[in-house]
Structure 1
């Protein structure tokens, strides 16, 4: 026996994103700022009392690395890993920025600040294997007229 049943009406709606440019959605971007640990024991790991200084371009402007969300970048740890690779001269960021040659490589004990979609921020300590979230560093310093040093 066949029973006739009516199907409920289906409504299709187009939901637009507030972060669109014209009709093209704005790309989801992660921004990384690397804080170099300048404490004498910096390679033993980051401690909250260690002084940190932000990596900068040769002209002294802040060095912000950008990464577009993709199959390879799907979260804050993947963005931190990409920043670590840039900071170790393995690649450029998605805007073509390379790590300055006069700043030491990103190492254990440094902190990477990731600003993600929606402008949320997380600070990640560079560990021997991976990253660990830490509170926002309280000891950010600016080296008067100088940049973070190369390896000793």
Structure 2
């Protein structure tokens, strides 16, 4: 005797709204320090807001692995250059004109091709690895804009 068994259908939703990095790419997200004293350096209690595009999606900078891009610091340096309007990422994205340049006190999240993540704070003379800061995202509907 055989019995019919009904199995539910399983579906998955795949978000394709942003650039999809290739397997050999580094990605970087810049978090703007929104504290009143932000230009004196990042402190763990400072609020951070992710830089976003005009449509409020995350600004994910993408860099292909090459002979000058070997580690998290290199990826963060590349993001710093884009964030200071010195070119674009490898997908042609430039820094939005309505967001201030990346500065001392900001934090860059760099993700390697094998998905290891490091957070690096921007210091007066380079970058320093730090533990993952909180909070890392803007409030719903909030957009980081140019500020001095």
After TM superposition, the structure 1 = structure 2 runs for residues 1-152 of structure 1, keeping only pairs within 5 Å, are: 27-152=23-148
Aligned residue for 1:118, secondary structure, equals coil
Unaligned runs of 5+ in 1: 1-25
CA drift at 1:141: 3.8
TM-score by length of 2: 0.82
TM-score by length of 1: 0.80
Unaligned runs of 5+ in 2: 1-21
How many residues are paired up?
Answer: 127
CA drift at 1:150: 1.0
CA drift at 1:124: 0.2
Residues 124 and 31 (structure 1), Cα distance of their counterparts in 2 relative to 1, 3 Å cut: same
Residue by residue over 1:41-96, the C-alpha shift from the partner in whole angstroms, topping out at 9 and shown as x without a partner, is 00000000000000000000000000011111111111111000000000100010
Aligned residue for 1:85, secondary structure, equals helix
The question of whether the paired residues in 2 share the 8 Å contact of 1:103 and 1:147 is answered with no
Aligned residue for 2:29, secondary structure, equals strand
